[in-house]
Amino acid sequence: MFRPFDFAQARVAVIVAVAFVTLSAQTAPLDVAIINVGAGGGQLFNGLGGVAGRMDGTIGIRNGHIVSMGAVDIRNAREVIDAAGMVVAPGFIDVHSHGLETIARPQLRTADAELAQGVTTIVGNPDGGGPVDLAKQRATLEADGGIGVNVALLIGHGSVRSAVMGGANRAPTADELTKMLGLVKQAVADGAFGMSSGIFYTPGRYAKTDELVALARAAGGVYTSHIRDEGNYDVGVVASVDEVIRVAEEAKVAGIVSHMKALGPDSWGLSKTMIEHVDAARKRGVLVWADQYPYEASSTSLLAAVLPGVSVADARARLADAAKKPTLLAEAKENIRRRGGPHSIAIASTKDMSLAGKRLDDVAKAKGTSPEQAAIDIILDGGASIVSFNMSEDDIRAIMRQDWTMASSDGALSLPGESVPHPRNNGAFARRLGVYVRERKVLTMWWAINNMTSLPARVFGFTDRGMIRDGAIADVVVFDAATIIDRATYDQPHQLATGMRAVIVNGRVAWKDGKPTGVRAGVVLR
């Protein structure tokens, strides 16, 4: 029999329930109490506003959330963190991370390199890469006790394209496009926040813009792109930024230019034009942002840097053909020049690890050959990852100062002894605060913090993160603004950042007094 809903009775039940929850919230002990917030010269940056908030009080954390700010009862708090003299801020969000490529390894699951810098959330599967099956990836991340930081997944365009079309250098047929759209939609159902592309790399570079628009529209959310050309290899960096704007505009998604830069001396100074184009697009309502890591060197594969778009098999065949060998060598030589010459390229990891850390000109000299021949020899012998010095400080600063530029690392998780990787793995966020805020004064502290917390949370749609307020999810960092610094250098890239007193992930203390606690409180966001 149909019975009308009894509002009066329901209201009583709600009042009783609210009263119970409120009462137990006041009496149950806190999981974590951060005390002396704002005291002793410390500051609270809530991530939300233009100015730094100041307060003398306590932040209470219970059941993963911030439950009280101000004066609260800290008796019985399970853990107390003293923030006197410290900066308290929302946990940092790394919007372009390669961390997922190795985080499932047992030694890397706590993600110490991220925690040491205050990073509590990473966005994975950048540059069009990562797996196509995100449900399986999620299960791997959640298995075996989980991981130390939160993770947001993207679906990689290059991975989708190669699953459907292999390495085909052509536009998809209608049937292939339908299949790709299906994979993208499945990934979104499995929790993807959008699509990444890496159209400098194969097979992503085989896609025309309309393919990217169609797939980005199906993905919705964000479209992040390692653009077609960050220098002057191909269409040029400005046209490549324009392509992100076009995809964002036509697909009606939030376009993000990944690790924005002007690569190579020929392109230095073009940040001005790139910024003008992004500003103009934003003025007419296009959703477009960028991210950036604060270093003058980038990192990629030797093959992509020296012979972009050429496969190893192709390179081998051309080298063996006396008629084609000179053009291959000339192409490699020109691309090495574009990046700043052979001394600007350092080997990070390769089969012969005695080369790790060495510059290409020195490698060539030792082998008695030309830099282009030495590079191709390494490529044919299994390849290498490189650190490539190719940016100007003026461009870095200009891009960094934009209010639409978010912080990223582009870094991976790595172990000492396995390679000489880019120091950004262990330093990007600490360097932004220590070098670009404190030492070089390019950014103010509140600006830097907003662009690594609330801005990315808003752009990606991470609800209740990237800010400190009652009810928000408790991703919180406590650090010393006077000492925070990156310790990873190009020669010694495995040194963790210092200056972070505490890092709280989903209400649990994952980093304390300069050390990991071993707590793995990260979740895969949806």
Binding region for Zn ion (CB under 5 A): 127, 226
Q: How many CB atoms lie within 10 A of CB 416?
A: 10
d(CA 80, CA 75): 10
Considering beta carbons, is residue 261 or 318 the nearer one to Zn ion? Answer: 261
Considering beta carbons, is residue 226 or 501 the nearer one to Zn ion? Answer: 226
d(CA 232, CA 166): 27
Considering beta carbons, is residue 127 or 229 the nearer one to Zn ion? Answer: 127
Nearest to Zn ion by Cβ — which residue? 226
**Dihedrals phi, psi of 306, to nearest 5 degrees:** -95, -35
Nearest approach, Cβ of 237 to Zn ion (angstroms)?
14
How many residues does this entry show for the chain?
A: 526
Considering beta carbons, is residue 126 or 265 the nearer one to Zn ion? Answer: 126
d(CA 44, CA 254): 30
Considering beta carbons, is residue 158 or 265 the nearer one to Zn ion? Answer: 158
Q: In a 10 Å sphere around its CB, with 0-12 CB exposed, 13-18 middle and 19+ buried, how is residue 172 labelled?
A: buried
Considering beta carbons, is residue 161 or 226 the nearer one to Zn ion? Answer: 226
Considering beta carbons, is residue 259 or 512 the nearer one to Zn ion? Answer: 259
Q: Where are the alpha helices (DSSP H) in 166-204?
A: 174-189
d(CA 37, CA 87): 8
Find, among 221, 95, 223, the residue nearest to 151 by Cα.
Answer: 95
Residues 141/104, Cβ–Cβ less than 8 Å: yes
Q: How many CB atoms lie within 10 A of CB 383?
A: 16
Nearest approach, Cβ of 200 to Zn ion (angstroms)?
8
Nearest approach, Cβ of 424 to Zn ion (angstroms)?
11
Nearest approach, Cβ of 258 to Zn ion (angstroms)?
5
Nearest approach, Cβ of 260 to Zn ion (angstroms)?
11
Nearest approach, Cβ of 299 to Zn ion (angstroms)?
9
Q: How many CB atoms lie within 10 A of CB 23?
A: 10
Nearest approach, Cβ of 460 to Zn ion (angstroms)?
17
**Within its chain, how far is the Cα of 449 from the centroid?**
15
Considering beta carbons, is residue 432 or 508 the nearer one to Zn ion? Answer: 432
d(CA 164, CA 145): 34
Nearest approach, Cβ of 85 to Zn ion (angstroms)?
38
d(CA 456, CA 210): 27
**Dihedrals phi, psi of 108, to nearest 5 degrees:** -110, 0
Residues 58/35, Cβ–Cβ less than 8 Å: yes
Considering beta carbons, is residue 62 or 226 the nearer one to Zn ion? Answer: 226
Nearest approach, Cβ of 127 to Zn ion (angstroms)?
4
Nearest approach, Cβ of 180 to Zn ion (angstroms)?
21
d(CA 292, CA 152): 18
Nearest approach, Cβ of 410 to Zn ion (angstroms)?
6
Amino acid (one-letter) located at 116: A
Considering beta carbons, is residue 127 or 486 the nearer one to Zn ion? Answer: 127
Considering beta carbons, is residue 127 or 395 the nearer one to Zn ion? Answer: 127
Nearest approach, Cβ of 329 to Zn ion (angstroms)?
27
Considering beta carbons, is residue 226 or 520 the nearer one to Zn ion? Answer: 226
Considering beta carbons, is residue 400 or 519 the nearer one to Zn ion? Answer: 400
Find, among 234, 282, 291, 287, the residue nearest to 257 by Cα.
Answer: 291
Edge-to-edge strands, sheet with 79-82: 65-70, 57-62, 32-37, 79-82
Q: Where are the alpha helices (DSSP H) in 143-208?
A: 157-165, 174-189
Half-sphere exposure of 194 (CA within 13 A, CB side): 29
**Dihedrals phi, psi of 451, to nearest 5 degrees:** -75, -10
First to last CA, the chain: 40
Contacts of 86 (CB under 8 A, 6+ apart): 42, 478, 479, 480, 481, 501
Tokens standing for 237? 């960096």
Half-sphere exposure of 84 (CA within 13 A, CB side): 4
Nearest approach, Cβ of 98 to Zn ion (angstroms)?
8
